[in-house]
Every structure is written in C-alpha cells, then in structure tokens.
Amino acid sequence: MISTWSEWKMYPRAGRGENIEAPITPGIYEVRYAASGALHSFGAVDNVAQALSQLPSSSKSWFGRREPVALPELEYRTCATSTKADAKAAAERMIGRRETYMSGAA
C-alpha cells in the first residue's frame, strides 16, 4: 500500500540544527533543486529518514582550514509505503510515466 506524497520541505542545512521530517518506514523520496525544480535524487528505500540523512548536504574541504563548500538549496518530499517492494513498484511506475512524458515532449 502506498500513501500520498508529503508537501515539499526545505532540506536541512548543515550547522543550523534543522531536522529531516520523514518516515522511518519503507517508501520513496524525491529531492530537487529549489531554484529550478530539477531532480537531484530519487529512491525507493527501506527507511526514508535514514536515506535522506545520508545524502550530502555540504562538501567539506580535504584541508581543515578551508570553509565547507556551499551546495544549492534543496527541497524534498516523501511517500511512505507498507513494504520496500511496494516502494520499488511505485518508483518504477513513476519512472515509466516520466519517460513516457519526456519522449512525448521531445
């Protein structure tokens, strides 16, 4: 069973004490660039919150004296499912719809 998508939320920025609000269940996540709406990442996973927390939110320099490199503003949304199999099936349907749309738009 698949639930509905959450609203788009700003991805937490490193060093600001912000938290990810996502289910700790299987599901789908989608991350996009806030300015353009272009897709950053997408996945069907066992634990949505954990997967989102492992995405890079800033890039640190190899040398400790340099400041972290700022990444663009990101937004994310989530969709909880009963099982990872449900998440994978829903993700495959979404990918199929996008490919159909893009082939018709080209």
Tens digit of pLDDT for each residue in 4-58?
A: 899 999 998 767 778 899 999 999 999 999 999 999 999 999 999 999 998 875 5
Residue 68 reports pLDDT greater than 70: no
Residue 59 reports pLDDT greater than 80: no
To which residue do tokens 């949505």 refer?
48
Q: Which of 17-21, 73-77, 100-104 has the highest mean pLDDT?
A: 73-77
Residue 24 DSSP label: S
Query: What's the pLDDT at 2?
Result: 62
Query: What's the pLDDT at 32?
Result: 93
Half-sphere exposure at residue 36, Cβ-oriented, CA atoms within 13 angstroms: 5
To which residue do tokens 């979404």 refer?
94
Count the neighbouring beta carbons within 10 Å of the beta carbon of residue 51: 20
Q: How far apart are CA 53 and CA 12, in angstroms?
A: 9
Strand partners, 30: 42, 77
Q: Give the phi and the psi of residue 95 in degrees, each rounded to 5.
A: -65, -45
| C-beta separation of 26 from 84 below 8 A | yes
Residue 67 reports pLDDT greater than 60: no
Go through the domains of the chain in sequence order and give each one's CATH number: 9-105 (3.40.1440)
Query: What's the pLDDT at 69?
Result: 58
Q: How far apart are CA 59 and CA 33, in angstroms?
A: 16
